[in-house]
Amino acid sequence: MKKLMQKLCYLFLVVLTVAMSLSGCLTAVAHADDGVDAQAAITMDAQTGQILYQKNANQLRAVASCTKILTLAVIEQDVANGKLKWDQKIKINHHVAKTSTDWHFSNVELKQGHSYTVRSLCESMMIVSADGSAEALALADAGSTQAFNKKMQAVAKKAGVTDAKIYNMIGLSNGELGENGIKGVSKKAENAFSAKDMALIARYLVNTYPDALNITKENNVEFKVSDKQSYNMKNINAMLPNNGAAPKNGTMDGLKTGSTDKAGNCYVGTGVFNNRRLITVVLGTDIKDFSKQFNATNKMLEAVQGAYQPVNIKQLSNVKGVSSKVKVAHSKLSTVKVGMKQPVALWLPKGTNLKQVNGEIILKSNLRTIGGHKLRAPIKNGQAVGSLKVAPIKGMPSVKIPVVAQQSVAKHSVFN
């Protein structure tokens, strides 16, 4: 009898272990190795900000030339507000020309006294990581490294980044910028962002300035160095279509690589997978093997696509425990209709559906009554009133989807 009990207990443990393994394969993608050989990594849905994979995602690290994604976001902003124009020409001074021919850096040659358009400088900065071009853009836009940094910090804040260390527009050490470095800062200081920071910045760029992808998706672009000299720029992003590391189940169309001894090899990418735009980040891959940043990204994408699938939410009531009506105070009406501005998709573990996902509506603090369960009238149709909070993947951060009023509600008056 004792031996029988021992065998039954053993059998129970085996079954339990297998069951836990099967359930864990759908929810623990972020904690498994999955072959993602990087110091830090993250995958994020560009529309919702839902995190699908993370590894040391909040750890600040040097990111080298991935910094130029933020630099491009600042330039895009200043083109949009009229401070710069794409066809505007920037004249190259002695220092920038010297930077552009320094063999230690990534570059296209910029000749002193020659002028290049904002567009061509952005192309060279993003396609072949031209450091001189990044420096020329920043100095023409803001006048100094320090002034441009303030713009970088402001755009990073708009993207949701608050903890990054930003020293320059390129991603080099402060000392490597020579006379354009920031005084009073260590020469060894390099920009530092977390994988999540870089994902948020990339997400902000592609959502706010989607035309940026028209630059980053180009495989080959001709750069006119002078009237008599041109250079064919081959994009160093090996994950673009028709390149060796191009993913099998989706299409990459950007963004940027980066590499220094301190940062290792890094890659921030974006592309469409399962009909959803994703942002991928891998930081700190082996500096001696340029391909590992792309291999790690593909492994991460395979893990995500193997475990999850996007499911559309057409209305709030599609989610378990969520109503399309919210109680309202100070009005003749007892409730107000709410919904999303547009349908969105959540990634769920394969084999699950929205009715298995719990959600709740979190009302904006300045609009809700004490206790937080009712909105205060008046409410305008289309007004943002809160967010739908859901946690569709175990072990991952919750997702917040904006919720708006779908009708106007007048404030109750004693005179009517």
Residues assigned a catalytic role: 65, 68, 129
Q: How many CB atoms are located within 10 Å of the residue 390 CB?
A: 24
Tokens of 52: 């699908």
Alpha-carbon span 370 to 335, nearest angstrom: 17
Question: Is the separation of the CB atoms in 61 and 307 below 8 Å?
Answer: no
Residue 413 CA from chain centroid, whole number: 47
Q: Is the dihedral of CA 319, 321, 323, 328 positive or negative?
A: negative
Radius of gyration of the chain (CA): 25
Amino acid identity for residue 390 in this structure: V
Amino acid identity for residue 82 in this structure: G
Alpha-carbon span 175 to 172, nearest angstrom: 8
Pairing of strands 399-405, 384-390: antiparallel
CA distances from 205 to 139, 209, 366 (A): 21, 5, 29
Q: Would residue 17 be called left, alpha or beta, if left means φ above 0 and alpha means ψ between -120 and 50 degrees?
A: alpha
Which helix H or strand E contains 273, and what residues bound it? strand 264-273
Amino acid identity for residue 384 in this structure: A
Break the chain down into helix, strand, coil percent, rounded to 5.
35, 25, 40
Task: Tell me the β-bridge partners of 368.
Answer: 375
Contacts of 134 (CB under 8 A, 6+ apart): 68, 71, 125, 169, 170
What's the chain's length in residues? 416
Question: Is the separation of the CB atoms in 304 and 52 below 8 Å?
Answer: yes
* Of 247, 399, 387, nearest in space to 310 by CA: 399
Contacts of 242 (CB under 8 A, 6+ apart): 219
335 half-sphere exposure, CB direction, 13 A CA radius: 6
Tokens of 408: 């106007």
Alpha-carbon span 344 to 201, nearest angstrom: 21
